[in-house]
Amino acid sequence: MRILTLNPGSSSVKAAVVHDGVAVGWAAWQSDMSRAVVDAVERWPRPDAVAVRFVHGGAQKAPVLVTDQVIANLDRLVPLAPIHQPLSLDVTRQVRALLPGVPVVACFDTAFHAELPDAAAHYPLPREWTRQNRLRRYGFHGLSVQYAVRRAAELLRRPADELQLVCAHVGAGVSVTAVRGGRSVDTSMGFTPLEGPAMATRSGSIDPGLLLHVMKTAPMGPDELADALCLRSGLAGMSGTSGDLGEVRTAAAAGNADAALAVEVYVHRLRREIGAAAVSLDRLDALVFTGGVAQYQPETVAEVARGLGALGVRVGALERSDADRAISASGSAAPVLVVRAREDLELARGAETVLADLGNEVHRARTADRSEVR
């Protein structure tokens, strides 16, 4: 089966063609998103299906075939993921128009976390707010973590359902997830992707009292505050740069004290979340890093890992590499792995599952019709 995968980011679209579980084509566009979808559709032969990544799926626990009703439901979630959700919706609408008759499947980052234990999923808020179970912790980066867990199991040569892992997705967005038996049991992102460690342009977790103080004294409305927290905070806000970690490190090396502090805060907050995730497990079978920073900024991974002595992990000298690999040193209490982010493969897997289920439903319906005729 040939699946076209489309992975919209905050300002880019990545596309891949996955044929029977193997990626056979890849491309990315940094601007003109509408043209990117047209280019992706025209670049490769007509696919059997298209899989689109959505950051937020609400209560969805698995990928779904896109219908008009599904699009309407996902549109209601835009306020909870304002950077990514609108672009995913635009991409979905466009690809349905360009490829009529080709099934389009929506795959959700939140789905991997849909069965978080109650203690991890609930906020300590008035029950009249939370009774409908909508004001809860959803978690994100699920597609990336799901693949990282699968790949870590291969590298460790152990079944995924036997492993207890801490997975850190470290890119422009940053999150840490505790995984037990292949399931998310705690994660740093919550109701929105703002919670957790500091990120490229996102603040991460902030004392809500501080935000109330800013809103009263600035004064500042909710839209302006959301813009500041999502787009003008994190590494960008602290350093006065774009928020790209490589740029921030370059500025720090050139003597920019604000940039140096931004890196220190970024590393510290990530370490803290890894430690928090570890105590949601009975043991630590491996610490897994994935995402663009993990792949292309090995010095950051090393800096984070070397500050985790309380967990007993040890790493050696690291070099930049595209290979999935163990980076732990002799004497480490648990393996430390770096796994390339492959959301394209997870998207394709989700689409294949949906289509297989649809095929089974059609087969059962036809069988039932024949039985009734007899």
Q: How far is CA 340 from CA 170, 272, 273, 333, 364, in A?
A: 11, 23, 21, 23, 39
Question: One of 68, 75, 109, 186 is an active-site residue; which one?
Answer: 109
Query: Residue 316 and residue 180: Cα distance in Å, rounded?
Result: 27
Q: Is the separation of the CB atoms in 4 and 17 below 8 Å?
A: yes
Query: Residue 198 and residue 239: Cα distance in Å, rounded?
Result: 13
Query: Residue 225 and residue 234: Cα distance in Å, rounded?
Result: 14
> Starting from the edge strand earliest in sequence, which strands make up the sheet with 22-29, in order?
22-29, 13-19, 2-8, 49-54, 104-108, 64-65
109 has catalytic annotation: yes
Catalytic (active-site) positions: 109
